Structure 1
Amino acid sequence: MPSRWNAWTIGLLALLAIGLVYSVILSPSSFIIPIVVLGGIYLLYKYPPSFLRGYGGSRQGRPQVKPGRAAAAAKSKSAKPRSKTVPFRVIEGGKDDDDDLPKYH
């Protein structure tokens, strides 16, 4: 048990469990309907029908690329760098130092 569980937490959880059991005994249909609905949503999420998949048919994952073109494209991209790396430059600002000591004493 976690160290944060004290007598109040255990008492509250016990009352919650008793209330749930009592509610299920009193009217089981109030728990069967949400369980069926949530189960249906889970099944549709886990195994969606073909019209809900979005990318059509049995094709899954990324589309296949021919090896000849992919290798040539990879070589041409790796030979040319995207941009030249330039070190950072400091641009001198024009702000006066009014926050420091005044110019006259």
Structure 2
Amino acid sequence: MPRKVSPLLLVILLLVGAGLVSQMLANPTQMIIPVVIFGAIYLLYKFPPGGARTRTKPRNKPINRKEAQTTKPKSRKNIPFRVIEGGKDDDNLPKYH
């Protein structure tokens, strides 16, 4: 489903593009460093180094829902609630430490 692009975002992207084109026409050597940096970041994102790759563990076969439902849930002991007797001080004075 395509999303609508807001007019503000479109104007900003057009201004950024116009600024990049004018910068490339005026002084192309000044754009070499940013292009190299962004290119390196993109390549590292697409092709991460060997140590950074996530290795997936072999998964066990998936459990069917019917099999999961047929297993008995662990039974729990039915323990009644205990009432802890407590009292409120009869003093109406606030307690200070």
TM-score normalised by L of structure 2: 0.41
Normalised by the size of structure 1, how large is the TM-score?
Answer: 0.39
